Amino acid sequence: MGTPSDKLDVDSVAFRFPDTRKNSVARQRRRACLRAAALVLLALLVYYISGLSWSGDLPELQVSSYRSKTVIDRQLFKGPLPPAENSTACPQVDVLFPGHNELDSDLDELYASSAFRSNAYDLLGGAIQIPTESYDDLAPVGQDPRWEIFGTFNDYIEQSFPVLHAKLKLTKVNTYALVYHWQGSNGSLLPVLLMAHEDVVPVEPTTIDDWIHPPYSGFYDGTWIWGRGSCDDKSSLIGILVAVESLIKKGFTPSRSVVLAFGIDEESAGTQGAGHLAGYLEETYGKDGLAMILDEGGGYGTPYGDDVLFATPATSEKGYLDARIEVSASGGHSSVPPPHTAIGMLSSMISALEAHPHETQLLRSGTPFLATQCFATYGPEYPEKLRWLAEEARTSDVALAKLKTGLLAADRRNSALLGTTQAVDLIQGGVKVNALPEHVEAIVNHRIAEHSSVDDVKQHILGVLLPIATKFNLTLDAFGKNISAGTGNGGHVVLSDAWGPGLEPSPVTPTGIADPFAILAGTIKATFTTTEGYDKKGVIVSPMLSLGNTDTARYWNLTKHIFRYDHSGEGAVYGDIHTINEARLAEAYIQQIRFYTKFILNTTDK
Ligand SMILES: *[C@@H]1O[C@H](CO)[C@@H](O)[C@H](O)[C@H]1NC(C)=O
Ligand SMILES: *[C@@H]1O[C@H](CO)[C@@H](O)[C@H](O)[C@H]1NC(C)=O
Ligand SMILES: *[C@@H]1O[C@H](CO)[C@@H](O)[C@H](O)[C@H]1NC(C)=O
Ligand SMILES: *[C@@H]1O[C@H](CO)[C@@H](O)[C@H](O)[C@H]1NC(C)=O
Ligand SMILES: *[C@@H]1O[C@H](CO)[C@@H](O)[C@H](O)[C@H]1NC(C)=O
Ligand SMILES: CC(=O)N[C@H]1CO[C@H](CO)[C@@H](O)[C@@H]1O
Ligand SMILES: [Zn+2]
């Protein structure tokens, strides 16, 4: 991570998925709102279907009828499994209802009451009214007056949750980041950490008139709660606080401690919030000192037919590297040019990189493979050929290779899940039309695949550029090492980290049936199946790879069990996050509160 321009926010992933976001307002109102993270995670899958042009030498298959129980263990392929059937390809857990059943149902009853709801809407609306905007060029806390609004926000939080503030210990980290500690009764259990961020993406002033209700109104119109932060991420932050406050009012004491940590610059550099919180949390709780972490991230949707919900917590995140390529050459008058100027040489390098994209891989041990297994096993409208291949690919290397080809052919955007991406996003060079350029540079943005590493990416770049440096007689400094390349009479090329060291792909959170992942999965299922109006055939919880990063990128030392999940999905957001008309479906926000409540109960009950 590093400079302010270095956006690693999961919400900033530059992808757009046109088929899931056709932009008529009417349509947005009907469906809408995946959080961007949910979008990134889920919409890719929709692409597995759309535009599927791949055809291989496969038997013709009939479109799905659920295969019967007796032939679950394969032999003959017969379409998707019903969600109630367990499988080895995508093992599912049962719904997990909190042990304190009465408390949970009491709270569900409370959350259904209109008094509770209107109070909860007010609390979120009030939080939205405080514009805690996150700027890329913010100087550190204390040096930039634009941070002061976070003090107002924190005062608001303290006034709004008196019961919580009487019970939990609050520590302010770097002035505005907040850590709450709720002491558990059993000191030998590791605490659980719930995260959210206080900051929001700034509202572009010229777009204010395009908002149906003003961006900092927090207005509740009877269905939606309007404004910047209503979805990303104040509904999570306030939702967590409402859940905790409600549990305390019911007299609940957790067995393990519950820690809440709220960053202040997730939407920009992350250095002032999570950057300080990481150190504080590690000092306080120790390395691997937490049982698990829950932060914003993937959501839920029905990408493969309306009757099966897929919830996709991100259990791993891609890495990140911005690589700078600088070419220096002798200047001079452009009337007597060499055959290649520095710009020409840099152009050759860029062309070569684009001609050699990073290799995609579909590994059986990887998260994209696990997710593919879940969609193929349970998605009613998953493409039949891919479903067949996914099943065969569990044991056959030939089928695995064909599955990879099939996924990539279904949509080129799937390559972002299966490989490191590169994008030449910045270029600079030349000052005058009659002067040979002496110094030119480009910056290449990389999102690093789960199976790869920062070092792999550097090696790849070096491998592609070395022959070119040699050909042009350039000396080569590759990421701090002088590599023997050309004679140097052509000039010099330097490869380096553009802003600071890259970020490795995250550790992969274990997702076994006995891991904390199962508690999350069971909690998600319990929340859905007890939601009023729930009418699905079932809920499948699948691990997922996130293409972007959240504040958790700084928290790897605290636990192996990191989950990035918002209990939010189709229909929960009006417009879109990070743009105009961000609004949270009030009902969906109540469901978030229900989810956080059950999550705390299921992770901290005796
Ligand atoms: C599903 O199968 C796994 C083993 O593959 C098992 O551990 C788990 O308990 C099963 N889940 C249910 C709901 O039976
Ligand atoms: C605290 O938790 C540990 C570990 O699960 C357990 O062995 C112990 O019995 C618990 N103590 C109490 C007082 O519940
Ligand atoms: C590289 O340098 C050699 C002499 O050292 C010269 O013959 C050759 O033309 C140069 N190549 C380029 C591309 O400038
Ligand atoms: C590489 O060589 C150049 C000159 O050829 C020198 O300026 C630079 O310091 C060297 N870098 C390293 C890392 O040795
Ligand atoms: C994690 O631990 C390592 C080794 O103790 C330390 O060098 C690193 O700074 C820690 N990472 C963070 C983000 O605090
Ligand atoms: C980890 C934990 O304490 N989970 C609780 C969640 O709810 C289940 C089902 O009632 C309890 O058995 C667990 O104790
Ligand atoms: Zn966010």
Q: Which domains does the chain have, with CATH numbers?
A: 24-317+506-604 (3.40.630.10), 319-359+419-497 (3.30.70.360)
As a whole number, mean pLDDT of residues 486-501 equals 92
The residues assigned a catalytic role are: 199, 266
Atom of ligand 6 nearest to the CA of 101: 10
For residue 392, how far is its CA from the centre of ligand 1 (angstroms)? Answer: 21
Q: Which ligand ends up closest to the CA of 87?
A: 1
Answer yes or no: is pLDDT of 85 > 60: yes
Q: Which ligand ends up closest to the CA of 184?
A: 2
Q: Which of 3-7, 60-64, 141-145, 355-359 bottoms out in mean pLDDT, i.e. has the lowest? A: 3-7
For residue 473, how far is its CA from the centre of ligand 3 (angstroms)? Answer: 6
Q: Are strands 292-301 and 192-197 parallel, antiparallel or unpaired?
A: parallel
Q: What is the pLDDT of residue 606?
A: 64
603 by DSSP, 3-state: which? helix
| Token representation of residue 173 | 């980290």
As a whole number, mean pLDDT of residues 91-104 equals 89
As a whole number, mean pLDDT of residues 205-231 equals 96
User: Ligand 3 in contact with 473 (CB < 6 A)?
Assistant: yes
As a whole number, mean pLDDT of residues 335-343 equals 94
Answer yes or no: is pLDDT of 68 > 80: no
Confidence band, pLDDT 50/70/90 cuts, at residue 78 = low
Q: CA dist 540 to 366, 392, 403, Å?
A: 18, 21, 22
Q: Which of 185, 596, 602, 603 to mutate to test the pocket of ligand 6 (most atoms within 8 A of CB)?
A: 602
Q: What is the pLDDT of residue 194?
A: 98
End-to-end Cα separation, the chain, in angstroms: 39
123 by DSSP, 3-state: which? helix
Q: Which ligand ends up closest to the CA of 604?
A: 6
Mean pLDDT of the chain: 88
Q: What is the pLDDT of residue 58?
A: 37
User: Ligand 1 in contact with 71 (CB < 6 A)?
Assistant: no
Instruction: Tell which wins on pLDDT, 52 or 102.
Output: 102
For residue 565, how far is its CA from the centre of ligand 2 (angstroms)? Answer: 29
For residue 233, how far is its CA from the centre of ligand 7 (angstroms)? Answer: 5
Q: Which of 39-48, 75-84, 119-128, 431-440 bottoms out in mean pLDDT, i.e. has the lowest? A: 39-48
Radius of gyration of the CA atoms of the chain, in A: 26
Is 267 annotated to bind a ligand? Reply is yes
Answer yes or no: is pLDDT of 442 > 60: yes
Task: Note whether 246 and 164 are within 8 A (CB).
Answer: no
Residue 318, C-beta contacts closer than 8 angstroms, at least 6 positions apart: 420, 447, 448, 449, 450, 505, 545, 546, 547, 548, 549
User: Ligand 1 in contact with 88 (CB < 6 A)?
Assistant: yes
User: Ligand 2 in contact with 185 (CB < 6 A)?
Assistant: no
Tens-place pLDDT, residues 352-404: 999 999 999 999 999 999 999 999 999 999 999 999 999 999 999 999 999 99
User: Ligand 5 in contact with 289 (CB < 6 A)?
Assistant: no
CA-angle at 405, arms to 401 and 406, nearest 5°: 115
Pocket of ligand 4 (CB under 6 A): 475, 477, 480, 482
Confidence band, pLDDT 50/70/90 cuts, at residue 113 = very high
Confidence band, pLDDT 50/70/90 cuts, at residue 163 = very high
Residue whose tokens read 């030498």: 57
- SS3 assignment for 256-324: CCEEEEEECCCCCCCCCCHHHHHHHHHHHHCCCCCCEEEEEEEEEECCCCCCEEEECCEEEECEEEEEE
Tens-place pLDDT, residues 245-289: 999 999 999 999 999 999 999 999 999 999 999 999 999 999 999
Report the distance separating Cα 8 and Cα 232, nearest Å: 15
For 188, which DSSP code?
A: T
Is 295 annotated to bind a ligand? Reply is yes
Which residue's CA is minimally distant from atom 8 of ligand 1?
93
As a whole number, mean pLDDT of residues 13-26 equals 30
Q: Are strands 474-478 and 491-497 parallel, antiparallel or unpaired?
A: parallel
For residue 73, how far is its CA from the centre of ligand 1 (angstroms)? Answer: 14
Answer yes or no: is pLDDT of 72 > 70: no
For 389, which DSSP code?
A: H
User: Ligand 2 in contact with 605 (CB < 6 A)?
Assistant: no
Is 578 annotated to bind a ligand? Reply is yes
For residue 293, how far is its CA from the centre of ligand 1 (angstroms)? Answer: 24
Residue 259, C-beta contacts closer than 8 angstroms, at least 6 positions apart: 179, 180, 181, 182, 191, 192, 193, 194, 281, 285, 290
As a whole number, mean pLDDT of residues 454-479 equals 97
For residue 195, report the phi and psi dihedrals to the nearest 5 degrees: -120, 155
User: Ligand 5 in contact with 558 (CB < 6 A)?
Assistant: no
Q: Which ligand ends up closest to the CA of 377?
A: 1
As a whole number, mean pLDDT of residues 575-592 equals 92
Atom of ligand 1 nearest to the CA of 93: 13
Q: What is the pLDDT of residue 443?
A: 97
Task: Note whether 163 and 248 are within 8 A (CB).
Answer: yes
